[in-house]
Amino acid sequence: MLNLEQCWRAILRRDRRADGRYVFGVATTGVYCRPSCPARRPLRRNVRLFATPAAAERAGLRACLRCRPNAAAARPAAALDLGGLARRVAQNLERPWRERELAAAAGVTAAALRRACLEQLGLTPRALVEAARVGRLKTGLRAQSGIAAATYAAGFGSSSRVYERAATRLGMTPRQYQRSGANVRIATCRFATPLGRMTLAATERGICFAHLGEGGEAALREEFPAAQVARVKSGEEPWRSWRAALQRALAGGEGEAIPRLPVDMRGTVFQLQVWRYLRHLAAGETRTYTEVADAVGHPRSARAVARACAANRIAVLVPCHRVVPRSGHDGGYRWGAMRKRMLLKTESRR
C-alpha cells in the first residue's frame, strides 16, 4: 500500500530514491510522471498515485516525455541486475564496452549505471569491464592457452596493457601467474604476539600477508600455490625489527603505535583506496563504513567498504579493525571479533 502523505512529500522534493516505486498521474494533463520529474509540480487535488506505469496507462494516462517514467532508467540503482550485466560483458569481451554501451545494455542512463556500480560494488562501470577482462585473462592463463592468446581473448588490445596492470591485478607477471606463482619469491616467518601467533610474509616490495592465529601458512599457500616460499628466522633483519615493532605495539605499551612498515598491497582500485585511507588513521581513531565510503569519494558504498575490509590480507598493518558499524558495536573481523575488541581497547588507551 502506498502512503499518500509520504509519496506526496517525495514528489515535492523530486526525490530520486522514490523512482521505480510508484508513478503519479495528473488528471488535468493526462500525463503520468516519476517522482523526480523536473516538470512543475501540479496541485495535489489533481494527483493520483499508481504502483506501476502499466497501471497508469490502463487508467488512460500517457507517459511524460521529460522523465520517461516507463523507461528502465526509472528503476532505482539498488534494483539494477549488475550480476547479469557483468555476465553479458564477460560473454562479449571483444566489444570495447564504453560507458554508454553498458548503460544501454542495462536499460538505464549512464549516470544511473555509474551510481549503481558505485553503490553496489564500489567500482566504476569501466572498472567492472576491467574486472571481467582480468577474470578471462586468469582463466586463459590457467588453461595454458598462451599469454598472447589469453591476452587477446580477454579483450586487451596489447600485451603492454596487461603488464601495466599485472602487479595490482594478478599479483605477479602473467608468466608467473600461468605457472601458479612459480618464481615468485616470498619469505615468511612466524612469531608470538599478545593476539596469538602471527604469520608474516613479504615479497621484495614489502609485507604482502599478515595472518593472526593458526592456519596462516596454509592461507598463504592458497594465494600462491607454486610460489617459492622460504621460511626465515625471525631474528634476521629486517624481520627482527618488524617483529619487535609489532610485538611492542600489540602489547599496548604507552606511546607504542602500530609501525609504518613497508607493505605490498594488491587489490582492486577501490580496495586500494580504502586500505590506503585506513593506513592514515591514527591509533585510537575509528570510522564507520559510511564515513570511509565518503572519505574515499564513493558515498553510499558502505557495503563495498565492508567487502574491502574483509578482503584485506594484511592484518594490523592495514588497520581494517578501525572500521566499525554505525550501531556502535565492534562488528566483524577477518581474524576474530575478540582480537578486534582487544586492538580497539589497546589503541583507545593511547
Encode pLDDT of 94-127 as tens digits: 787 888 888 877 777 787 888 777 766 667 788 7
| Predicted pLDDT of residue 73 | 43
* Residue 146 confidence (pLDDT) above 90: no
* Residue 296 confidence (pLDDT) above 70: yes
Q: What pLDDT, in 10s, does the model give residues 167-211?
A: 445 554 555 554 445 556 899 999 999 899 999 999 888 998 999
* Residue 213 confidence (pLDDT) above 80: yes
- Residue 74: which H helix or E strand, with range? none
Contacts of 212 (CB under 8 A, 6+ apart): 193, 195, 196, 197, 198, 315, 316, 335, 336, 339
Distance of CA 218 to the CA centre of its chain: 25
d(CA 211, CA 349): 24
User: Phi then psi for 225, rounded to 5 degrees?
Assistant: -65, -25
Query: Which of 23-32, 91-100, 222-231, 263-272 tops mean pLDDT?
Result: 23-32
d(CA 115, CA 36): 16
Q: What's the pLDDT band for 323 if we cut at 50, 70, 90? A: very high
Residues belonging to the active site: 33, 320
The grid cell for 218 is 596454509
| Predicted pLDDT of residue 31 | 95
Q: Centre a 10 Å sphere on the Cβ of residue 19 and count the other Cβ atoms it contains.
A: 23
d(CA 39, CA 187): 64
| Predicted pLDDT of residue 74 | 44
| Predicted pLDDT of residue 167 | 44
Buried/exposed code over 134-146 (b: 16+ C-beta within 10 A; e: otherwise): bebbbebbeeeee
d(CA 309, CA 289): 9
Which domains, ranges and CATH numbers included, belong to the chain?
Answer: 4-74 (3.40.10.10), 77-178 (1.10.10.60), 185-251 (3.30.160.70), 269-348 (1.10.10.10)
